[in-house]
Every structure is written in C-alpha cells, then in structure tokens.
Structure 1
Amino acid sequence: MKTYWKYYFILALIMLVCLAFSNQFTTPIYLEVPKNWPKPHYDFSKNPLTEEGFQLGRNLFYDPIISRDNTISCASCHLQQTGFTHVDHDLSHGIEGRIGTRNSLALVNLAWSKDFMWDGGVNNL
C-alpha cells in the first residue's frame, strides 16, 4: 500500500501557515439565516467565517495541486453546476481515471449538517 504522507504533510503545512496568519486577516462574513429556518448545526465559533478564509477555501477547492498526481481538484467531482455533486456518474472518477467506490456528496447547506462524509467520520472543518 502506497503512503501519501508527503501530500498530507504539504496540506497540513498550508493549513498551519493559514492559521498562523489568520488573526491578521479577518474580514468577518456573517451567515444570514432566512426567517423560519432552523439554527445551523455547525459551530462557527471554532472556525469563524472570514472573507480571507472563504477565498482560501475556494482556491483550494478548484486547485488540483492537493491531489496525489496534481490532476484533479475537489471541483472535479463536486461540480458547481449540479449542486456540487457528480450527477452523471454512479461513482466518482479519481486520479488516473480510476473509478471510486462511492459518488461525491452534494455540498449544499452544510451548515445544517451534523457531520460530513458518507460515514459521518468528519464532524467539523
């Protein structure tokens, strides 16, 4: 089994640099919840919304550099025009044209989700 530690290390390094500078770049964004909607489940106090964080996330989402072979980004499967999911395939396609074991989840209204991923293994960002 191949290990991808260097890719995880690079991603962790990017995140640490962002965290180190996050206090210097804080233009807050406020989530406007429509009337009669429930309160979001996501705890924004642990990861406040900022313009800079939003732009960083957007850039990483569309950048293929965090894939193992630098060929696909998150947006390759989470297609914006289809509610940030992959509707024309039963299973998402990965690097080297490999077919995954599941399709990408839709990335909409995630503030109201209690956990993330198919198995619920992630509960915060």
Structure 2
Amino acid sequence: MSLEYPGDLKYLDTHEYVRLEGEIATIGITAFAVDQLGDIVFLELPEVGDAITKGETFGTVESVKAVEDLNSPITGTVIDRNEPLLDSPEQVADDPYGEGWFIKVRVNDPGEIDDALTADEYSAQVEG
C-alpha cells in the first residue's frame, strides 16, 4: 500500500507532521501512523491558550490497538484545536493532512522545525 506524505510538510520520526504557514503551525499525524494505529477511538488534545514545547507530549491518540503520545515538533501557543475530531476521532483516517489536523500553534521560533524530516526522508524511514 502506498501512503502519501505531502512535500510541503515536515515530519517527526514519531509520526507527527507539521505544516508551517508564516508563524502558524498545523500539527497532526501521518497516514502511516493512522494505518499503524487502526481504528482511532479517542483523542486528547490541549486547550486553546495552552503552551506546548518541542519534544514534549501535547496529547494522546487512542485506537483499538494502542494509546500513543503525541509529540510536539515545535514550541508555541495553541490557537485552535480541531473540535469536531474530538467527537468523531475516526475521521482522522479520512483526511489526515486536511480535515484530520489536530491543533494549530502560533510558533515561537519557526526555525525549530529545520531538523524535522522531509517527506522523502520520512517515507524512506517508514517504508524502507
């Protein structure tokens, strides 16, 4: 099965992605993570106004198989969270890079994601 990894995103080896637009980062999990988790049944996400720190846990995603921590690719303040997903977490699987995003963050330092993986690097890691 061929999974998609959009080229405009940066990736963590823990399967989170970040889309940086100016000083706003949109964070979610990759198609690979969704595929590995199976049916997602619960999400725990930070509240708007919460601070998150690069490399630290900002929530959890729970599936029928496992509970996984969500690791932050960047430091900043949560400005939005995907409320509809909290009621229907299974929708992450339909569109992980679009409607399936988790949180939006106003970042302190956009350069923090410079060490994240490119789409090609991430694809090689998970599919290689």
Larger Rg: 1
TM-score (norm 2): 0.28
TM-score (norm 1): 0.28
Tell me: higher relative CO, structure 1 or 2? Use CA pairs within 8 A at least 6 residues apart. 2
Q: Relative to total residues, which structure has the larger helix share, 1 or 2?
A: 1
Q: Relative to total residues, which structure has the larger strand share, 1 or 2?
A: 2
